Structures are given as C-alpha cells and as structure tokens.
Amino acid sequence: MRVCLDTNVLLQLFGTRRKYAPIIDALVDGRVELALSNEILLEYEEILTELSGSARWQQVDQFLHQLSALRGNVLFVEPHYRFAVVTGDPDDDKFVDCAIAAEADHVITWDRHFDALACAGYKPRPITPDQFLLKLA
C-alpha cells in the first residue's frame, strides 16, 4: 500500500505520544510505501524545525533516508502537473499532486480540505490516521 502523509500526521507519528506507532512499524517492516516530493520534504522541514527544532527535523530526515536505503519503500516523485484538487487550501495540493503522480492509495490526513480528493476521480483517497490503523490491523 502506498501513501502520502500530510504534515499534521507526520508531526503525530514522531511526537511524544505513540498512538500512531503502528504506521511507523508498517513503514519499517515494508508493508507500506511512502511517497514524497521535494515540496513535501521542504514543508516537513519548515514545520518540524519551527515547532520542534532543527534536531528533531534531522532525526526525521535521517529516518526517511534510512528507510529508503534499507527498505526501498520511500518513493521520491516530482509531479510535473498541478491538479488543483484542493480548492479550500491550495497549499495542500502538493500532497495531492505527489499522491497522484506516485499512484498512491491514500493521503493520510485529518484535514477536511482533502475531502475534495475523494470525488475528484483520481486513485488516492483521503483517510484519517485512525482509519488507516484499521486497514493495517
């Protein structure tokens, strides 16, 4: 299963509470592939550094690179087209564009702006982290 993680979910995955640790476990054991683009990585870096400091971002960045090297389940894509699906918050389109280009199954998010993706006619579907945990079980 291939996914794209919204920044709000990434923050929870690497936060102090471990409710969503099964998602990290699924990445580590190769059951889930993660789709990323440069735009997404830049947002991850910006938000994590702002909220948790540069050391925290470096830990997450190192984890992503190790995951890519060890498991090969991090797919780096550069979308060449802007699909403009998320009209409520165009800044979120970077996740949709990446998910579509990577042929991902889901964008994992709590953000309701992604609801537009559900009926846009593309493969990826928005899913909350809790719903995704049920899929993993």
Domains contained in the chain, number: 1
Cα distance between residue 21 and residue 124, in whole Å? 22
Cα distance between residue 37 and residue 101, in whole Å? 10
pTM of the model: 0.93
94-116 per-position pLDDT tens digit: 999 999 999 999 999 998 888 88
Beta strands in the chain, from DSSP E residues, in sequence order: 2-5, 33-36, 74-76, 106-108, 125-127
CATH number of the domain where residue 102 is located: 3.40.50.1010
pLDDT band at 89 (very low <50, low <70, confident <90, very high): confident
User: Given this model, what pLDDT does residue 117 score?
Assistant: 83
What range does the domain containing 23 cover? 2-136
Q: Other CB atoms closer than 10 Å to residue 68's CB: what's the count?
A: 15
Q: By the 8 A CB rule, do 94 and 40 touch?
A: yes
